[in-house]
Amino acid sequence: MTRQILLNAGEGHPARPFNFHLTGKDHSSRARTGLFHTSHGTVDTPVFMPVGTQGTVKGLTPDMVRETGAEIILGNAYHLYLRPGHDLIARFGGLHKFMNWSGPILTDSGGFQIFSLGALRKRTEEGYAFQSHIDGSSHVMTPETCMAIQEALGSDITMCLDECPPYPASFNEVESSLALTLRWADRCAKTRRSPGRALFGISQGGVHPSLRKRGIEVISDIGFDGYALGGLSVGEPKELLYETVDFAAPLLPAEKPRYLMGVGTPEDILECVGLGIDMFDCVMPTRNARNGMLFTKKGKLVIKNARYRDDGSPLDDQCGCYTCRNYSRSYLRHLFIAREILAIVLNTIHNVTFYVSLMRGIRSAVREGAYGAFRKSFLETYRTNQEEDEG
């Protein structure tokens, strides 16, 4: 079996140039719909990308992910570089074949993960010197090696190596960090990549409008296939997050996809779609599922709470996922209390499906020119039951 897999590793999809076009706009906001094409398929936007950091969406097989309706997933260059290694994944034909996912994959550069290492990393002009969080071994990540790692993984959309400044940080600290990110972006853009592989530039600048504007002007001049807003959802107040997106999103090239990294809650997504964002990712659906926090149209639900012990209803009677079609809240509570692995699987199926369904509803509302009404109605219902953990 192993020999057969290796023999087939070189068989891949023909390279198809990445391209994006808008398909609709809302009349009362900046919300928009679009379509981007990759060698592994087409993706409708606005889109939520389930996070598959280490080559798996935690708790789900690829077939289960597909059944949720997800069109694209996210991997992480830092984690896959450390384990099992990008060279090994390349020998198996790339990440798509290695993990048996036939759809598009976006890989994060790992800059945020290296930033999160704190004392285990050192920033230089050349790149990052850091120690592995797994075994303490020493490594260097430069813009060029970051691109080489993502090239080996075979992702459809790659991200520039950047530095994410902490919050709070002084204006001068953020300005210095931004300047380095822009120099690294230029080096990433000059690194050769395979035909059809997209490269997104990342806007940094913290919550400072003048720095955001300066950074976006530079990365726009360099020219990328798409543009991301990074360095947000790192501890700043929610109002500052929205203000920064409101200011920065219109400055990004309108004809390219706009990606807000690491965001977020259903409320965040609804707000930021209205501000012109096309792409989102967040660990929240999968992480919350493992912790027993489930999303429903009527708000968040803590499945271990005693009120669900005798509850024979599905998690969400408006959800058509495998979990809601087949299992009661009572059974799901039993699995979670008993710490059965199936609890994580069923909870994750539901949460990911909830997010994918939310995006589908958003796209439909934008096409109909009714995004404002959809957002208002969804939030009014969603906020009726924001349940707390009863202990």
pLDDT tens, position by position, 271-293? 999 999 999 999 999 999 999 99
pLDDT band at 14 (very low <50, low <70, confident <90, very high): low
Phi, psi angles (nearest 5°) of residue 372: -60, -45
386 pLDDT tier (thresholds 50, 70, 90): confident
pLDDT at 9 over 80: no
Q: What share of the chain in percent tops pLDDT 70?
A: 96
Asked if 280 and 260 count as a contact pair (C-beta separation under 8 A), the reply is: yes
pLDDT band at 12 (very low <50, low <70, confident <90, very high): low
| DSSP code, position 14 | P
Q: What angle do CA 150, 152, 153 make, to 5 degrees?
A: 60
* pLDDT greater than 90 at residue 13: no
Q: Is 258 left (phi over 0), alpha (psi -120 to 50) or beta?
A: beta
C-alpha closest to that of 112 among 229, 220, 227: 229
Adjacent-strand bridge partners of 30: none
Tell me which amino acid residue 379 is: L
- Banded pLDDT at 4 (limits 50, 70, 90): very low
- Is 281 tagged catalytic? yes
Q: For position 389, what pLDDT does the model report?
A: 74
Q: What is the mean pLDDT of the chain?
A: 94
Q: Decide if pLDDT at 6 tops 80.
A: no
214 with 205: CB under 8 angstroms? Answer: yes
Give the pLDDT score at 278.
Answer: 98
**Residue pair 215/244 in contact by the 8 Å Cβ criterion:** no
Q: List own/partner pairs for 127-133 with CB under 8 A and 24 or more apart.
A: 127/161, 127/184, 128/161, 132/82, 133/82
Tokens of 293: 């926090």
Structure confidence at residue 209 (pLDDT): 98
Categorize the per-residue pLDDT at 388 as very low, low, confident or very high, splitting at 50, 70 and 90. confident
Distance CA(281)–CA(105), nearest Å, equals 12
Distance CA 135, CA 377 (A): 49
C-alpha distances (whole Å) from 127 to each of 83, 109, 195, 322 are: 20, 12, 26, 45
How many Å apart are CA 302 and CA 373, to the nearest integer? 28
β 32-38/41-45 pair status: antiparallel
Q: Answer yes or no: 268 catalytic.
A: no
Comparing CA positions, the residue from 105, 86, 218 lying closest to residue 153 is: 86
Q: Is the dihedral of CA 203, 208, 214, 217 positive or negative?
A: positive
For the entire predicted model, the pTM comes to 0.95
Residue 248 phi/psi, 5° resolution?
Answer: -85, -40
Is the per-residue pLDDT at 132 higher than 70? Answer: yes
Please tell me the number of Cα atoms within 13 Å of 241 on its side-chain side: 22
Q: Which among 108, 156, 162, 278 is annotated as catalytic?
A: 108
What phi-psi label fits residue 41: left (phi over 0), alpha (psi between -120 and 50 degrees) or beta?
A: left
pLDDT surpasses 70 at 184: yes
Residues above pLDDT 90, as percent of the chain: 90
Confidence of residue 115 (pLDDT cuts 50, 70, 90): confident
C-alpha 355/C-alpha 379 separation (Å) is: 14
Mean local confidence (pLDDT), 207-234: 97
Domains within the chain, CATH numbers bracketed? 2-282 (3.20.20.105), 292-382 (no CATH)
pLDDT over 50 (residue 336): yes
Q: Which of 225, 278, 281, 316 is catalytic?
A: 281
